[in-house]
């Protein structure tokens, strides 16, 4: 009974359970990514995943912890603008507006807005080198 355990000991007792469950979830999502990729229902290329996120196709996004890709994401179209590229829709007269953000973070935000899930992984746990991997709904 959890009520019989002193509160100061509760965290120490439940931590191994949470760690084991997280490990199982990561392993499951990596397996699902491999299976889905074989069927054309997963990808790890940033431009493709960004377009799929904008279209609401991403069910689960695996994101590499502490990975930063500078640039700008058009959240309506999913078009990725690398850092330093001036998006046509931001240019105004002779003074183009330049924005920089973390593109991977912007993709993750877009996935969440469309009801998808995000799972943060360490670099060695990622199934790709791009900093993200997406499992599509369709």
Per-residue pLDDT band at 97 (split at 50, 70, 90): low
Q: 3-50, pLDDT tens digit by residue?
A: 888 888 888 888 999 999 999 999 999 999 999 999 999 999 999 999
Structural domain containing residue 132 = 2-136
Whether the pLDDT of residue 57 is over 60: the answer is yes
Q: 60-86, pLDDT tens digit by residue?
A: 999 999 999 999 999 999 999 988 676
How many domains, in total, are found in the chain? Answer: 1
CA 111 to chain centroid = 8
- Select the more confidently predicted residue: 96 or 83: 83
Whether the pLDDT of residue 98 is over 80: the answer is no
| Residues 6+ positions from 43 with CB-CB distance below 8 Å | 37, 49, 52, 133, 134, 136
What tokens does 133 get?
Answer: 């991997």
**Whole-prediction pTM value?**
0.85
Per-residue pLDDT band at 89 (split at 50, 70, 90): low
Average pLDDT over residues 98-121: 95
State the virtual CA torsion across 85, 90, 92, 94 in degrees, nearest 10.
Answer: -10
CATH number of the domain that residue 25 is part of: 3.30.1330.30
Burial environment of residue 31 by CB neighbours within 10 A (0 to 12, 13 to 18, 19 or more): exposed
Predicted local distance difference test score (pLDDT) of residue 125: 98
Predicted local distance difference test score (pLDDT) of residue 92: 52
């Amino acid at each position: 009974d959890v009520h019989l355990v002193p509160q100061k000991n509760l965290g120490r007792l439940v931590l191994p359970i949470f760690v084991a469950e997280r490990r199982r979830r990561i392993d499951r999502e990596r397996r699902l990514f491999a299976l889905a990729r074989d069927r054309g229902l997963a990808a790890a290329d940033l431009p493709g995943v960004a377009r799929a996120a904008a279209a609401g196709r991403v069910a689960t996004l695996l994101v590499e912890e502490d990975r930063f890709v500078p640039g700008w994401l058009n959240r309506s179209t999913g078009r990725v603008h690398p850092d330093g590229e001036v998006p046509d829709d931001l240019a105004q007269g002779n003074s183009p507006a330049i924005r920089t953000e973390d593109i991977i973070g912007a993709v993750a935000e877009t996935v969440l807005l469309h009801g998808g899930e995000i799972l943060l992984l360490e670099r060695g746990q990622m199934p790709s080198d791009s900093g993200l991997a997406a499992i599509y709904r369709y």
